[in-house]
Amino acid sequence: MNLLDFTIQTTNQYIDQIPKSQRKKYGQFFTSKETAIFMADLFDVPAGKTTLHILDPGAGSGILSIALLERLQGIPQLKSVHLVCYENDSKIIELLKTNLDWVCQNSTIQINYEIREDNYILSQILDYSGMIGANPSPLKYDMVVSNPPYMKMTKDSPEAKAMPDVCYGAPNLYFLFAAMGLFNLIHNGELVYIIPRSWTSGAYFKRFRQKFLSEGTLQHIHLFVRPCLKNSEE
């Protein structure tokens, strides 16, 4: 069994046990195996680097980061990976840890991981805003991969107040994750996210678009289309 198949198996068991209403509370939408592999393949592995730093905000059960780790197996020059996962749903932390422990034991490269049980956005307020007490040299990542939570926030929510430069009106948590992910990248690092199309238009997303397209370079857009199901009675 490869790294990703083990994770998909344990995640499906988790989904069967946790009510949809509970998962919706955290904006959880688990990534399919096919989508995770597709997203991992979008990354260009930096030539000559022996160590990579990878960030997975809102990691869930680890499907996306483990799909990326699966892809990195067998790359000759790569010796180690440092993976940081943010996840603040206490019910899935143990599953994430189980999956990452199994991956570490069965990987062909050395993997060190951290699980940060914290609010991804709020934990970086000082660094993002450059306030007093900020880390002058915060850790930056070669790769950031995520299927962020999709949740509407009020304009007075702590997360919206933490990132006023990208917020207008009532934001959605997913684009705050995308903006923070861009902040977390090294120069010439890569970010691969699965997010709704809504960010491409409308006043609510204008500041985000301006920041995202001025500080980053958009290289690839893939539109996932839901299959059309034929009526069985036809």
State the DSSP string of the chain: --HHHHHHHHHHHHHHHS-HHHHHHTT--PPPHHHHHHHHHTSPPPTT-SEEEEEETT-TTSHHHHHHHHHHTT-TT--EEEEEEE---HHHHHHHHHHHHHHHHH-SSEEEEEEE-S-TTGGGHHHHHT-TT--SS---EEEEEE-----B--TTSHHHHH-TTT--SS-BHHHHHHHHHHHTEEEEEEEEE---GGGGSSGGGHHHHHHHHHHS---------PPPPPPTT-
Q: Which region among 19-23, 75-79, 81-85, 164-168 has the lowest average model confidence (pLDDT)?
A: 19-23
- The encoded tokens of residue 117 equal 């049980």
- Does any domain span residue 148? yes
> Which tokens in the block code for residue 184?
């977390």
**234 pLDDT above the threshold of 60:** no
Surface-to-core class of residue 90, CB atoms within 10 Å of its CB (0-12 exposed, 13-18 middle, 19+ buried): exposed
What does the pLDDT average to over 107-134? 93
Is 228 within the bounds of a domain?
Answer: no
82-107 mean pLDDT: 94
Q: Note the pLDDT of residue 231.
A: 43
Tell me the chain's radius of gyration from C-alpha atoms: 18
Residue 198 falls within a domain, yes or no? yes
Inform me whether the pLDDT recorded for 170 exceeds 80: yes
pLDDT in tens, 174-184: 999 999 999 99
Examine residue 17 and state whether it is found in any structural domain, yes or no. yes
pLDDT(230) > 50: no
- Residue 231 covered by a domain: no
Number of domains comprising the chain: 1
- In this prediction, residue 21 carries a pLDDT of 57
Domain that holds residue 110: 3-215
230 in any annotated domain: no
Predicted pLDDT of residue 22: 57
Question: In this predicted structure, what is the pLDDT of residue 121?
Answer: 96
Region 82-91: mean pLDDT is 92
pLDDT tens, residue by residue, 48-72: 899 999 999 999 999 999 999 999 9
Task: Report pLDDT digits (tens) over 136-163.
Answer: 889 999 999 999 988 888 999 999 999 9
In a domain, 171, yes or no: yes
Q: Is residue 131 part of a domain?
A: yes
CATH number at residue 46: 3.40.50.150
pTM over 0.75: yes
**What percent of the chain has a predicted confidence (pLDDT) above 70?**
91
Q: Which residues of 166-175 are buried (b: 16+ CB within 10 A; e: fewer)?
A: bbeeebbbbb
Cα distance between residue 205 and residue 172, in whole Å: 9
